[in-house]
């Protein structure tokens, strides 16, 4: 990048993308919002983006464009923050790649292991990995309900390739307007550690159609969530990832994946979730959209099968999510006995895994 202020695009401006984009705009940066929800684009153009946080509300004018308008762009972007769903990563990268400057950077602020897909499309020399912990929701166009304001949000940034070593600071400087941002020396492992958190809490609580904290308080539910996270942590280690700290907590035991999973879930309860926080998957289901389960619990089930074993908790969560998305089951609190009926004692899984 040149020494001039970077031209920034945020591709996918739902809850997290819009919230982070607003933080950058309010810090004086040149930011273009690219969004696929037509009503959201119209609302942002007409009224700006409203961000509601505990004890504060802001309204910020932004430049918002629909996907179909990307073909009209002429100037390249120095930084692209990708905030689409994990399953939309490849096509979104292909859409924006012609507009990434030769020395630009693309950073996925997403759940899931999307970093290699990004690098495959735009090149490893233009990709940095990131881990994000921001709690937010968007239930009406142009309005972000941000449960963790910048003071309570966290980002880890790291290079995937020697060609980008030393450039993490460029992204950390930008993301510091949206939360605490720091360098990760092993971003691939850090992405797997975030997957451990996702597997424990995102889909499990969504199956019950309840806010995360409320779901975790039901009899047996916290233990089930912990076991799901432990499976994920063990798979991460078995495939070569290290137990590394995320969310700003340095004191982890690299030899104890089970304890790490328990600590991580407790940290989410304490630091990143409000009593009414709905996970991203439940937000998707309530909007009639499919979830990222195959990029979370489904990854663990598939990887463990590849390693010659089973991951019964994650496989069962994935199967129930598939049933919900096929219309065979409703996401509802009455699913608790069904959810808890499987696990280590009954590893049967559906053939798709």
- Residue-wise pLDDT for 17-30, tens only, equals 999 999 999 999 99
**Helices of type H across 103-220:** 115-122, 168-175, 187-207, 212-216
Is 131 in contact with 190 (CB distance < 8 Å)?
Answer: yes
* pLDDT on residue 351: 43
Cα distance between residue 134 and residue 148, in whole Å: 6
Backbone angles phi, psi at 225, to 5 degrees: -65, -40
CATH number of 189-340: 1.10.1040.10
HSE-up (13 A, CA, CB side) for residue 158 = 16
pTM of the model: 0.94
pLDDT band at 1 (very low <50, low <70, confident <90, very high): low
Counting every residue written for the chain, the total comes to: 353
Cα distance between residue 172 and residue 53, in whole Å: 23
Domain limits, the chain: 7-185, 189-340
Q: What is the mean pLDDT of residues 260-284?
A: 95
Is 317 in contact with 203 (CB distance < 8 Å)?
Answer: yes
Percent of the chain with pLDDT over 70: 96
HSE-up (13 A, CA, CB side) for residue 350 = 12
Cα distance between residue 85 and residue 77, in whole Å: 21
pLDDT band at 101 (very low <50, low <70, confident <90, very high): very high
- Residue-wise pLDDT for 126-145, tens only, equals 999 999 999 999 999 999 99
Is 257 in contact with 243 (CB distance < 8 Å)?
Answer: yes
* pLDDT on residue 63: 98
Greatest C-alpha distance within the chain: 59
The top-level CATH class assigned to 7-185 is alpha beta
- Residue-wise pLDDT for 303-343, tens only, equals 999 999 999 999 999 999 999 999 999 999 999 999 999 86
Q: What is the mean pLDDT of residues 136-158?
A: 96
Percent of the chain with pLDDT over 90: 93
For residue 346, what is the DSSP state? B
pLDDT band at 220 (very low <50, low <70, confident <90, very high): very high
The counts of H helices and E strands in the chain are: 13, 12
pLDDT band at 249 (very low <50, low <70, confident <90, very high): confident
Cα distance between residue 57 and residue 76, in whole Å: 32
At residue 345, the 3 state secondary structure works out as coil
Cα distance between residue 193 and residue 286, in whole Å: 27
Q: What is the mean pLDDT of residues 115-132?
A: 98
| pLDDT of residue 345 exceeding 60 | no
């Amino acid at each position: 990048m040149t020494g001039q202020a970077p031209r920034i695009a945020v591709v996918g401006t739902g809850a997290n993308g819009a919230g982070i984009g607003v933080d950058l705009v309010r810090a004086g940066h040149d930011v273009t919002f690219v969004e696929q929800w037509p009503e959201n684009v119209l609302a942002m153009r007409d009224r700006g983006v409203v961000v509601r946080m505990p004890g504060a509300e802001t309204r910020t004018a932004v430049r918002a464009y629909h996907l179909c308008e990307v073909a009209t762009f002429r100037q390249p972007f120095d930084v692209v923050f990708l905030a689409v769903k994990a399953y939309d990563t490849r096509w979104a990268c292909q859409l924006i790649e012609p507009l990434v400057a030769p020395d630009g950077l693309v950073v996925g602020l997403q759940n899931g292991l999307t970093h290699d897909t990004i690098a495959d499309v735009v090149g490893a020399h233009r990709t940095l990995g990131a881990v994000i912990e921001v709690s937010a929701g968007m239930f009406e166009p142009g309005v972000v309900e941000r449960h963790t304001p910048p003071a309570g949000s966290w980002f880890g940034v790291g290079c995937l390739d020697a060609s980008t070593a030393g450039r993490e600071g460029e992204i950390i400087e930008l993301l510091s307007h949206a939360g605490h941002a720091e360098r990760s020396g092993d971003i691939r492992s850090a992405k797997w550690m975030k997957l451990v958190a996702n597997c424990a809490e995102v889909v499990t609580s969504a199956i019950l159609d309840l806010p995360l904290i409320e779901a975790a308080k039901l009899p047996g539910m916290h233990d089930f969530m912990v076991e799901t996270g432990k499976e994920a942590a063990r798979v991460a280690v078995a495939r070569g990832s290290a137990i590394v700290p995320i969310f700003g907590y340095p004191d982890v035991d690299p030899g104890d994946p089970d304890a790490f999973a328990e600590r991580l879930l407790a940290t989410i309860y304490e630091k990143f979730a409000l009593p009414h926080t709905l996970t991203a998957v439940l937000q998707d289901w309530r909007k009639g959209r499919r979830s990222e389960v195959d990029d979370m619990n489904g990854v663990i089930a598939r990887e463990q099968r590849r390693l010659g074993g089973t991951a019964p908790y994650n496989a069962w969560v994935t199967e129930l999510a598939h049933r919900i998305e096929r219309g065979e089951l409703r996401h509802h609190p009455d699913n608790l006995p069904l959810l808890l009926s499987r696990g280590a004692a009954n590893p049967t899984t559906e053939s798709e895994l």
